[in-house]
Structures are given as structure tokens and as C-alpha cells.
């Protein structure tokens, strides 16, 4: 993790940073992760919807969906057999190293845990909604009828009790792997090489790189196509990276405004 990483957030001798590695090449789309998450975290239902686009009737992550399984049906390259392939992928909050939701939260409701994860304190959140458009992945959302913002906690309560998060525990194919982030990154690299050797050249890691726009994700993925096919942004950047430049522009605009007012009042009387 490194002592200087923003993910360590000033904790004295924190436990190792924990995260998820979601290997979508072995996801079978059973949605056990979605169900286990709802059960453990007592997340309300998100309606009985038939979206009519695939086996995915959830659509995406939301205040009431903290794990979401995407189903992508596409023509197979270099047609063999059926000519189609299914891509399935369980999406989740990325628990970014540089988390925009956390940066912009004006109440301090969002905080960095000792495990390097990002969690909303439900007794503090006042539902200002700022974190929602700040997230470059569209993860966090406002719960209707409740007003507050909700998202995956990486099962903070279970982590504190040294338990595996519910989704990873329920995953029957080890598509969702939980553990110290450093270890997961090594495991992911080995798996990527294995797939490349087996001829699955479309395999790529997503969110694993500590030098990417969010400083690396705490929950990263092995994908079999471009990220946008799974509904993920291809090159996410934490919006607050440009904040110093933004404040400078605002300062310049404020000076311009004050100068305009002074000039307007100092001008001669007609």
C-alpha cells in the first residue's frame, strides 16, 4: 500500500489495504453476489423490472444495487461454433485511491476506513447529492424516499470481524476474489498471463494501475473487451485532480467581477 498512499488516510499502522479482484472470465452470471449483498446489507429491493435487453434486469449500480452483474451478448471474433459469446461481469464500487465522492463530500459523511475503503456514514449524510455526479463510474446514488447517498461499503462490518465480504463469500466460481490489494494485483497479473498464453488475447486488467486517473482502484477487474462495453469509463479521472486550476480560474473571475464593479462606480456621472 505504501505509507504515502492517499488510501492510508493518516491511520497509524493500518491493516493492509483490502480490495476486490473481479475476474470476469470465470463469471457465470448467477447473480449470487447481488443477492448476498442485498441480504447481508439489508439493501431494499430496486423494483421488479424487465429491462428487455438481456438477462440483466437490474441495469446498473445504484443506491439499492451495490453489486451488479452485466450481461453482454456479442458476435464472436473469428467465428467458431455458435458465433456468439456471453460476457458477464459483476460490477461494484471501485473504492478509488483518489476518490472523488470522498473529496467533494461537504459533510464528512464519506470517509476512508482503516482498510483503505470508502464508506458513507448514514448518520451524517444529509443528502446533498454532490458525490453522485462526482463519481467517474456512476456508482453512488441517492435512495428515493430516504434522501441519502448509498453505495457498497466493501462490507465494512464484516471486514472489522475478519470476515470475507458477502459477495465474494457467495461467488461460486471465485470470479470475485477478496484480499489484500497487493496480493490481488499479483494474482491478477498471473491470471492475465495465463489467459494470454491460452490464446485469450482480449483479456486485459482494468483499474489495477496505481498510476491511472484515480490512483488505482481498490476493486479492479479482468475484462474480455473494452471497458465501455461493460458500462465502465475507458479512462476515468478523479475530477478533483483539476481542482487547484479550477480555484485559480474562480479567483481570476472573482477579481474580474470586483474590478468591473469598481470601474462601473468610479466612472464619471453623466
Partner 1 sequence: MNASGTGDQGRGTRGTRRETQDQGTRPDRRGEGTRRERRDAVVVPEAEFRSYYGRPIIKAPVWRYDIPAYLFTGGLAAGSALVAAGGDLTGRPALRRAGRLTTLAALSASTYFLINDLGRPERFHHMLRVAKPTSPMSVGSWILAAFGATAGPAAVSELAPLLPRRGPLGLVRRLAPSAGRVAGIGAAMIAPALATYTGVLLADTAVPSWHEAYPELPFIFAGSALASAAGAGLIAAPVEQTSPLRRLALAGAAIELAGAHSVETRLGLLSEPYTTGRAGRLLRAGRTLTALGVAGALLGRRSRVVSALSGAALLTASALTRFGIFAGGVRSAEDPKYTVGPQRNRLTGRENGRERR
Q: Which span (14-22, 26-34, 188-196, 257-265) binds partner 1, by CB under 8 A?
A: 257-265
User: Is the Cβ of residue 4 or residue 13 nearer to partner 1 in the bound state?
Assistant: 4
176 beta partners: 22
Of 137, 135, 169, 134, the residue nearest 154 (C-alpha):
169
Considering CB under 8 A, how many residues would be counted as binding partner 1? 76
Task: Considering only residues 194 through 253, tell me which ones interact with partner 1, judged by CB under 8 A.
Answer: 226, 228-236, 239-240, 242-243, 245-247, 249-253
User: Is the Cβ of residue 218 or residue 236 nearer to partner 1 in the bound state?
Assistant: 236
3-state secondary structure 130-158: CHHHHCCCCCCEECCCCCCEECCCCCHHH
Binding string, 102-121, against partner 1, x = CB under 8 A? -xxxxxxx------------
Question: What's the N-to-C CA distance of the chain in angstroms?
Answer: 68
> Any contact of residue 132 with partner 1 (CB under 8 A)?
yes
Query: Which of 9, 35, 72, 205 lies at the binding interface for partner 1 (CB under 8 A)?
Result: 72
User: Is the Cβ of residue 197 or residue 234 nearer to partner 1 in the bound state?
Assistant: 234
Of 26, 20, 19, 18, the residue nearest 203 (C-alpha):
26
Length of the chain: 270
H/E element, 246: helix 243-266
User: Is the Cβ of residue 126 or residue 189 nearer to partner 1 in the bound state?
Assistant: 126
User: Is the Cβ of residue 198 or residue 246 nearer to partner 1 in the bound state?
Assistant: 246
Query: Which of 73, 157, 182, 186 lies at the binding interface for partner 1 (CB under 8 A)?
Result: 73
The secondary structure of 14-63 as a DSSP string is PPPPEEEEEEGGG-----HHHHHHHHHHTPPP------SSSS--S-S-BT
> Any contact of residue 44 with partner 1 (CB under 8 A)?
no
Question: Minimum distance between the CB of residue 167 and partner 1, rounded to whole angstroms?
Answer: 20
Amino acid at each position: 500500500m505504501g505509507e504515502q498512499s492517499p488510501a492510508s488516510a493518516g491511520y497509524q499502522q493500518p491493516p493492509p489495504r483490502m480490495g476486490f479482484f473481479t475476474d470476469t472470465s470465470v463469471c457465470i452470471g448467477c447473480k449470487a453476489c447481488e443477492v448476498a449483498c442485498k441480504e447481508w446489507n439489508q439493501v431494499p429491493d430496486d423494483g421488479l423490472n424487465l429491462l428487455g435487453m438481456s438477462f440483466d434486469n437490474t441495469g446498473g449500480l445504484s443506491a439499492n444495487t451495490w453489486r451488479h452483474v452485466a450481461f453482454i451478448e456479442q458476435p464472436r471474433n473469428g467465428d467458431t461454433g455458435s458465433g456468439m459469446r456471453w460476457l458477464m461481469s459483476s460490477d461494484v464500487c471501485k473504492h478509488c485511491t483518489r476518490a472523488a465522492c470522498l473529496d467533494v463530500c461537504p459533510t464528512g459523511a464519506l470517509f476512508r476506513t482503516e482498510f483503505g475503503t470508502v464508506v458513507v456514514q448514514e448518520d451524517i449524510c444529509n443528502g446533498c447529492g454532490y458525490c453522485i455526479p462526482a463519481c467517474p463510474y456512476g456508482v453512488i446514488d441517492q435512495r428515493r424516499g430516504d434522501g441519502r447517498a448509498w453505495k457498497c461499503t466493501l462490507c465494512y462490518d464484516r471486514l472489522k470481524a475478519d470476515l470475507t465480504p458477502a459477495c465474494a463469500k457467495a461467488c461460486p466460481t471465485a470470479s470475485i476474489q477478496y484480499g489484500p490489494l497487493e496480493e490481488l494485483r499479483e494474482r491478477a497479473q498471473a491470471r492475465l498471463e495465463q489467459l494470454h498464453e491460452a490464446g485469450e488475447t482480449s483479456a486485459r486488467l482494468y483499474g489495477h494501475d496505481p498510476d491511472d486517473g484515480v490512483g488505482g482502484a481498490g476493486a479492479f477487474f479482468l475484462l474480455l473487451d473494452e471497458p465501455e462495453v461493460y458500462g465502465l469509463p475507458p479512462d476515468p479521472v478523479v475530477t478533483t485532480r483539476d481542482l487547484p486550476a479550477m480555484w485559480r480560474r474562480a479567483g481570476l473571475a472573482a477579481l474580474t467581477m470586483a474590478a468591473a464593479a469598481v470601474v462601473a462606480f468610479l466612472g464619471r456621472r453623466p
